[in-house]
Amino acid sequence: MANDYDPKARNAGVDAIAALVTRLALHTGDPGAADTAANEVTGGSPAYARKAVAWNAAAAGAATQNGDVVFDVPAGTVAWVSGWNTAGTSRYFKKDVTDEVFAAQGTYTVKGTTSTLDLNDA
């Protein structure tokens, strides 16, 4: 039997997850099992690094990112995004994104207007 959560319960769940997910990471392939960061992007000049992310308050069971998150990336492919705690020890999600290939150093933007934490049915 599936649960049918009220909107306030979905919002509370999303807000709790949003408080934990404070960093985003990029990957060239599947990040792997829980709490692993396989295929994380490395290198470049300026060097790739995980970036801070903040979230708007949840509404209708989803929270949008509070602004764009821009990464420096070396030549290669960005294929996945993952969400982490500040310490980088707990991964809360991984998302397969449309591959973006960089022939040379560039920037990759995770758009605030299209990135959400969502607890609604797919």
Supply the DSSP string of 89-119, one letter for each residue: --EEEEEEEEEEEESSSEEEEE-TTT-EEE-
Q: Supply the pLDDT for residue 7.
A: 86
Mean pLDDT score of the chain: 94
pLDDT in tens, 23-67: 999 999 999 999 999 999 999 999 999 999 999 999 999 999 999
The model's pTM = 0.93
Q: Are 88 and 122 in contact (CB under 8 A)?
A: no
Check the CA dihedral 98-107-115-49 and report its sign.
positive
pLDDT higher than threshold 80 for residue 94: yes
The DSSP symbol for 86 reads: T
